[in-house]
Homo-oligomer: A and B are copies of this chain.
Amino acid sequence: MTYCVGLLLKDGLVMLADTRTNAGVDNVSTYSKTFVWEDPGERTIVLMTAGNLAITQSVVNLVSEGIPDPEDPHGPRATLANVPSLFEAARLVGRAIRQVHDYDAEAMRAQDTPFAASFLLGGQLKGRTMRLFQIYAAGNFISAAPDTPFLQIGEHKYGKPILDRALDYGETTLEDGVKLALLSMDSTVRSNLSVGFPLDLVLYRKDGLKIFRQVRIEDDNAYFQKISRQWSEALRDAYHVLPPPEWT
């Protein structure tokens, strides 16, 4: 399992992924699930992946090396380094997923392995709007929007309540967005063994056209430990001061 979360904020994007992969509980590895295509000043595209590692690695390969453009099959191959918009980038990832599906899904089905994969895609191209997409295993996708400013893939439930309650497209700063993404991840890591450190954090400032920060956060990271501890204390303090129930 995996947990990745992307926040679309007025001032930029916060994207956070864990790095744990597992086939059963006794075959656990660390793989980065975060991929960046960047041409500073021109384009910044970030892809995060969840699901079957064989599928997601094939998809990343295809969108890096390029696949034929269906409208111009003999022209140059489309890659995330040359697509003309984030929307076309999401479509390209979707086409790559469908190509992997065509190639692998039947053999996987014969082994009772579900075709499970999902992706977060965020970024901006020069002169275009900053976007954040979630792409499904069928290759179709949805976009984050001010009303729904976060998207999650993988083990998403444990980390959702804090985002539901506290995140706001217009009011949450990039700094607070980082805190919320880390708290959402912390809730998930505590509850699901298959989500684990290190974490990959990517920050993008709107119109920056380059990654503002990309950080790998290890489990002994002092800042992460500090906010995790302070948050638990704050929650305990907060529920203590709620009014007592009328029924006790």
Contacts and interface: CB of A to CB of B under 8 A. Distances in A.
A187 interface: yes
Interface residues of A, number: 44
Interface string A201-241: 10100000000010100000001001100111011101111
Nearest to A241: B234
Nearest to A192: B157
A164 interface: yes
Interface string A38-52: 000000000000000
A230 to B, nearest CB: 6
A87 interface: no
A74 interface: no
B175 A161 contact: no
A247 interface: yes
Q: How many copies does the complex hold?
A: 2
Interface stretch (A24-32, A60-68, A115-123, A177-185): A177-185
A157 B160 CA distance: 9
Contact of A179 (B161, B162, B239): B239
26 contacts: A157-B158, A158-B160, A160-B191, A161-B162, A161-B187, A162-B235, A162-B239, A164-B191, A165-B232, A166-B235, A175-B245, A175-B248, A176-B239, A179-B245, A183-B239, A203-B248, A213-B247, A215-B247, A223-B245, A226-B243, A227-B242, A227-B243, A231-B239, A234-B238, A235-B235, A238-B238
Interface of A: 157-162, 164-166, 174-176, 178-180, 182-183, 187, 190-191, 201, 203, 213, 215, 223, 226-227, 230-232, 234-236, 238-248
